[in-house]
């Protein structure tokens, strides 16, 4: 595993690491969900399987009350059997082009951060949202994600730790490059 990449943004540590998001013991992990909140492939399926039935029940109840979760928005459930306390579910865009998809992807990260703050959390872990079956090119997604997170943290976030948990070597390299481009090379 490569060494994590760390930067300090205001009062928050921003960390890029390679690993399994279902194993992160942050207050919340973010799920790259589908609008129906049903679980599925990739990180979404892995989180639903690892959390157990509580997450499915709470997601079903949310959809019953509120309808599908629109792209760029976020909601939360308890984390069930996961080490985290909460799962923040957000729906990234299905990639079409940068002009249409980038604002929705940025919103997914921003809305998740705002929800973590509203819940009074101190730490949150994100996957590489929309880079799997939704087809967002990982280098472009990483730049959008890091820019959205850094812009949010610079407004004075109470969060102490934001992790970008990359499952693949390619995602780690892309997010490392984005952090260095946006935040500089210094630790």
Give domain limits for the chain.
5-183
**Cβ proximity of 115 and 75 under 8 Å:** yes
Q: Looking at domain 5-183, does it have CATH number 3.90.120.10?
A: no
67-105 confidence digits (pLDDT tens):
999 999 999 999 999 999 999 999 999 999 999 999 999
Set 27, 44, 56, 169: catalytic member: 44
**Cβ proximity of 150 and 182 under 8 Å:** yes
Model pLDDT, residue 1: 80
135-175 confidence digits (pLDDT tens):
999 999 999 999 999 999 999 999 999 999 999 999 999 99
Query: Does pTM top 0.85 for this prediction?
Result: yes
Q: Respond yes or no: is residue 57 known to be catalytic.
A: no
């Amino acid at each position: 595993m490569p060494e994590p990449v760390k930067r300090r943004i205001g009062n928050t540590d921003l960390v890029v690491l390679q690993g399994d998001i279902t194993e992160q013991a942050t207050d919340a992990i973010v799920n790259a969900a589908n609008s129906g909140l049903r679980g599925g492939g990739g990180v979404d399926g892995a989180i639903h399987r690892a959390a157990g039935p509580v997450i499915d029940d709470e997601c079903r109840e949310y959809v019953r009350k509120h309808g599908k979760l629109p792209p760029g928005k976020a909601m939360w459930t308890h984390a069930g059997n996961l080490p985290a306390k909460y799962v923040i579910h957000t729906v990234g865009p299905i990639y079409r082009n940068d002009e249409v998809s980038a604002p929705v992807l940025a919103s997914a990260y921003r809305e998740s951060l705002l929800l973590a703050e509203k819940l009074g959390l101190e730490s949150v872990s994100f996957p590489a949202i929309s880079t799997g079956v939704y087809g967002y090119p990982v280098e472009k997604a990483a730049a959008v994600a890091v820019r959205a997170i850094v812009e949010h943290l610079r407004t004075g976030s109470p969060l102490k730790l934001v992790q970008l948990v990359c499952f693949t070597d390619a995602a780690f390299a892309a997010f490392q490059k984005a952090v260095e481009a946006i935040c500089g090379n210094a630790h």
